[in-house]
């Protein structure tokens, strides 16, 4: 059965609370393979918690999440094999150099040395880190770290790439090349799920946007569909008109509730 028939990510009735405080509240989310999906929401809406459960870093209280049919709780290894997760502030090893870091990540995903060497070289050259490959990561700027973490996420060619607030700390040039890369990555049949505060990113890149608030998906659709929703909610023409940006839509949908 080709992968396209199975959802890249299927979240069903996911619940997680911390010390009695509900962070994710019966959340449902389906992302078909090959989609660029953005998860949008105010601070503390449960975006990061959801992603961490999907990535296998947290255990859900109830509900399920499956990556290409592999349940993240019961079949974690298979699920992790095809997934890469990039946290918002990627923690790297200060005392490893860029190549050593990629070697380590490739080893964790059991990529053969020959394949990994080739990919590492391509990735570092493309991210303009090749000249810094022998330097310890502790001397890297935030943007360089972000790019190296991205290279680490891509070295095992995941089918699902999960990014928590990517592009923070990148300069305009680097952000542009990362955006191009993500779009290209989806074109090749892979799936990307990202969270972001920066509405412009979601607006430009994502085919489908989910707006999350208080641990639930409150709206989902293409930008146009969301515009229409926002128009209904606001009851006015101006807010729902074609010219409304995602920011208007976002503020409308999250404030009213």
Question: Which residues form the interface with another protein (CB under 8 A)?
Answer: 52, 55-59, 76-81, 83-85, 87, 90-96, 99-100, 102-114, 116-118, 120-121, 131-136, 138-141, 152
| Closer Cβ to another protein, 84 or 219, answer by number | 84
Instruction: Report, in Å, the least distance between residue 216 CB and another protein.
Output: 23
| Closer Cβ to another protein, 37 or 119, answer by number | 119
Helix axis angle, 172-187 to 142-154, nearest 10°: 10
The alpha-carbon radius of gyration of the chain (Å, integer) is 19
C-alpha dist (Å) from residue 199 to 6, 131, 196, 212:
29, 33, 7, 13
| Closer Cβ to another protein, 87 or 221, answer by number | 87
**Closest by Cα among 60, 68, 71 to 23:** 60
| Closer Cβ to another protein, 79 or 212, answer by number | 79
Instruction: Report, in Å, the least distance between residue 204 CB and another protein.
Output: 27
| Closer Cβ to another protein, 84 or 206, answer by number | 84
Instruction: Report, in Å, the least distance between residue 223 CB and another protein.
Output: 30
Structure tokens at 208: 């489908």
Q: How far apart are CA 8 and CA 109, in angstroms?
A: 19
C-alpha dist (Å) from residue 190 to 60, 231, 232:
26, 33, 34
Helix axis angle, 98-108 to 113-126, nearest 10°: 130
Instruction: Report, in Å, the least distance between residue 42 CB and another protein.
Output: 23
Instruction: Report, in Å, the least distance between residue 253 CB and another protein.
Output: 30
């Amino acid at each position: 059965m080709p992968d396209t028939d199975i959802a890249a990510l299927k979240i069903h009735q996911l619940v997680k609370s911390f010390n009695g405080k509900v962070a994710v509240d019966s959340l449902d989310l389906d992302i078909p393979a090959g989609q660029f999906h953005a998860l949008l929401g105010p601070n503390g809406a449960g975006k990061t918690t959801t992603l961490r459960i999907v990535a296998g870093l947290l255990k859900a209280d109830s509900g399920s999440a499956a990556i290409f049919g592999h349940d993240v709780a019961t079949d974690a290894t298979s699920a992790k094999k095809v997934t890469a997760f990039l946290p918002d502030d990627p923690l790297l090893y200060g005392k490893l150099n860029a190549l050593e870091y990629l070697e380590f990540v490739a080893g964790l995903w059991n990529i053969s040395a020959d394949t990994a060497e080739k990919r590492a070289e391509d990735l570092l050259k493309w991210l303009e880190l090749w000249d810094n490959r022998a330097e310890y990561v502790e001397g890297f700027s935030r943007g360089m770290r972000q790019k190296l973490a991205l290279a680490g996420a891509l070295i095992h060619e995941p089918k699902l790439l999960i990014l928590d607030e990517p592009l923070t700390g990148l300069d305009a040039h680097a952000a542009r090349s990362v955006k191009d890369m993500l779009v290209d990555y989806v074109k090749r049949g892979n799936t990307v799920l990202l969270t972001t505060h920066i509405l412009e990113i979601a607006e430009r890149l994502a085919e489908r946007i989910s707006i999350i608030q208080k641990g639930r998906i409150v709206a989902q659709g293409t930008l146009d569909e969301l515009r229409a929703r926002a128009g209904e909610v606001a009851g006015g023409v101006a807010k729902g008109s074609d010219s409304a940006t995602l920011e208007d839509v976002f503020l409308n949908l999250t404030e009213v509730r």
